[in-house]
């Protein structure tokens, strides 16, 4: 999609920059979520892990063991696919209420470079609305499940929150880049890059 007006200022990040910063953010996610979880639930986690690898009904030399591993991998892949779709939908869930065309102003697609899903809003948004839409997936799918897992001891939920907190790296970077914009400034979601711009 082409941009038909001159851009006054752009707030975007390259994929290479996002990948690099995601490694730094990964470290902080480990410190914030994984360490507290292991301090509280480490013993029960390792007991469950030992059962998974050595105490199950079917052992390493059984075909049924590998079928169970394939089942678990399928479940993990399914969670990631569904979570990725929900991540993009959460971006749009607030935006549609602040655009003239509503849901018709939202475009969904898959990037050609890495086959990642994306959501694009074709209408300008007040920056405070854009910010909430940007942070929503990382909060709902990442931070909240990870925090809840620390209190409940559910490791699968911790991994889900861990992964989708990390997947929101690009969102957190854009949120930081637009931190100084006044809340009522209109911003345009960039149709070709990760981020937004003002005209």
Q: Model pTM? A: 0.81
Q: What is the sign, positive or negative, of the torsion defined by CA atoms of 134, 117, 119, 159? A: negative
Nearest to 145 by CA among 191, 88, 79: 79
Q: Is residue 75 part of a domain?
A: yes
Distance CA 67, CA 10 (A): 50
Q: Is residue 73 part of a domain?
A: yes
Q: Is residue 131 part of a domain?
A: yes
pLDDT in tens, 118-132: 888 889 899 999 999
Reply yes or no on whether the pLDDT at 55 is more than 60: no
Kindly report the average pLDDT of the chain as a whole number: 83
Q: Is residue 57 part of a domain?
A: no
Q: Is residue 189 part of a domain?
A: yes
For the segment 61-76, the average pLDDT, to the nearest whole number, is: 75
Domain that includes residue 123, residue range: 9-41+66-198
Reply yes or no on whether the pLDDT at 5 is more than 80: no
Domain count, the chain: 1
Q: Is residue 89 part of a domain?
A: yes
Q: Is residue 161 part of a domain?
A: yes
Q: Is residue 4 part of a domain?
A: no
């Amino acid at each position: 999609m082409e941009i038909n007006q001159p851009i006054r200022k752009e707030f975007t990040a390259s994929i290479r920059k996002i990948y690099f910063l995601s490694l730094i953010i990964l470290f902080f996610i480990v410190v914030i979520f994984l360490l507290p979880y292991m301090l509280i639930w480490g013993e029960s986690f390792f007991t469950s892990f030992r059962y998974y690898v050595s105490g199950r009904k079917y052992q390493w030399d059984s075909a049924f063991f590998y079928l169970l591993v394939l089942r678990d991998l399928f479940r993990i892949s399914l969670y990631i696919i569904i979570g990725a779709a929900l991540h993009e939908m959460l971006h749009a869930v607030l935006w549609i209420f602040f655009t003239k065309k509503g849901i018709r102003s939202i475009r969904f697609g898959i990037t050609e470079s890495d086959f990642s899903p994306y959501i694009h809003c074709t209408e300008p948004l007040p920056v405070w609305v854009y910010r909430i839409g940007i942070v929503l997936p990382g909060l709902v799918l990442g931070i909240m499940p990870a925090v809840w897992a620390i209190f409940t001891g559910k490791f699968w939920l911790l991994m889900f929150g861990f992964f989708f907190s990390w997947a929101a790296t690009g969102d957190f970077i854009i949120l930081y880049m637009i931190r100084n914009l006044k809340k009522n400034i209109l911003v345009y979601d960039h149709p070709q890059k990760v981020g937004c711009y003002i005209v």
